[in-house]
Amino acid sequence: MKKFLFTLFVLSIQFSFSQINLDLEKSKIKWTGKKITNASHWGSLYFSEANLVFDGKDLIKGKFIVDMNTMTVDDIKGGGKERLENHLKDDDFFGVTVHKEAILEFNSKSVLKDGKYNINGLLTIKGITNPISFTLEPVNGNYVANLIFDRIKYDVTYRSGSLFENLGDRMILDEVELQVTLIE
């Protein structure tokens, strides 16, 4: 009888967990980088892996792998677009030849509160990992998140006012904004 009850207990635990593999073609990241002049550029990035794990309504785990080669610039067209995309992929920005992926992972329980999950995770860019906090909000069966990361912490130093002097209006702000849309 004890074995039977133990088996039922184990099965009930296993079935309370659910993993959601998100739609990789529809889910995306909109990135925005800004200059000191308030001018900005923005574009898209796409996932090669994206999933969330729930225990009932509690979010307990997530893993997102971004294919850095999918980086696009969406606010300009033509030769300028192509030049900026190539520059962002070069070593003085994200070095995607060597660092093909960026990874965001979290493994701590988050309870839905005020319609959002408060997440503490680890973000890896260019092989450098730092903690990051953000909220994830369920919206009509999908999820949205807004993240901000300091690019200097990931050795993305090009025209940073934190590291270089006398850049004037060519200075690029260190904070990069990410608007993430996750589609089931």
In a domain, 7, yes or no: no
Average pLDDT over residues 102-113: 96
d(CA 178, CA 148): 6
Q: What is the CATH number of the domain that holds 159?
A: 2.40.128.110
In a domain, 2, yes or no: no
Would you say residue 116 has pLDDT above 90?
A: yes
Judge whether 50 and 64 are in contact, CB under 8 Å. yes
- Banded model confidence at residue 2, pLDDT cuts 50, 70, 90: low
pLDDT in tens, 92-104: 899 999 999 999 9
User: Distance from first CA to last CA of the chain, Å, rounded?
Assistant: 41
Would you say residue 7 has pLDDT above 60?
A: no
How many C-beta neighbours within 10 Å does residue 87 have?
Answer: 13
pLDDT in tens, 34-57: 999 989 999 999 999 999 999 999
d(CA 103, CA 55): 23
Residue the block writes with tokens 């934190």: 162
Residue the block writes with tokens 């839905």: 112
In a domain, 1, yes or no: no
For the chain, give percent helix, strand, coil, nearest 5. 20, 50, 30
Report which of residues 159 and 55 the model is more confident about: 55
In a domain, 41, yes or no: yes
Question: Which residue range is the domain that position 23 belongs to?
Answer: 18-182
Report which of residues 16 and 134 the model is more confident about: 134
In a domain, 3, yes or no: no
In a domain, 150, yes or no: yes
Give me the number of domains the chain comprises.
Answer: 1
Would you say residue 32 has pLDDT above 60?
A: yes
In a domain, 45, yes or no: yes
In a domain, 151, yes or no: yes
